[in-house]
Structure 1
Amino acid sequence: MNIRQKIAQFAQYQQTVRELNALDNRSLNDLGISRYDIKNLARNKGR
């Protein structure tokens, strides 16, 4: 994986974390996600 791919992957991670953090707890719960899971889910997105 080259540096451009790493940068794009990190940008996607940040966007996913931002979007999930913007949801309220009820919405996250409806999706079956806890606040503690957000970073892990974003890290594993696309794998």
Structure 2
Amino acid sequence: MAATNILTQPARKERAAGTGIMGLIVRLQEARARRAVYRQTVSELSNLSNRELDDLGLHRSMITRIATEAAWGK
């Protein structure tokens, strides 16, 4: 039992570093920044005319997918 605790203890410390209050704050800041990129991308592309979107090779139905890729890379 003692050997198991010695082997797993460093892993627990590493996991704990990203799960504390600071880890939570960092994740919230990242999520907020990604949402801002998403909203800005949707807003800017939505303001373009169909002609301008066509010049870019885009269709209006692609806006949310493009914004998702810009924010989250999916």
TM-score by length of 1: 0.91
Structure 1 position 33 matched with structure 2 position 58: yes
- CA RMSD after TM alignment: 1.3
State the structure with bigger RCO (CA 8 A, min sep 6), 1 or 2.
1
Compute the displacement of 1:45 (Å).
1.1
> Which residue, 11, 24, 30 being the options, matches 2:49?
24
Higher mean alpha-carbon deviation, 21-30 vs 1-10, is at: 1-10
TM-score by length of 2: 0.60
For 1:42 and 1:33, the matched residues in 2 are separated by 12
Unaligned runs of 5+ in 1: none
Compute the displacement of 1:26 (Å).
0.3
Residue 44 of structure 1 aligns with which residue?
A: 69
For 1:5 and 1:33, the matched residues in 2 are separated by 28
For 2:36 and 2:30, the matched residues in 1 are separated by 10
Helix, strand or coil at the partner of 1:23: coil
Unaligned runs of 5+ in 2: 1-25
Structure 1 position 3 matched with structure 2 position 34: no
Structure 1 stretches of at least 4 aligned residues deviating more than 3 Å after TM superposition: none
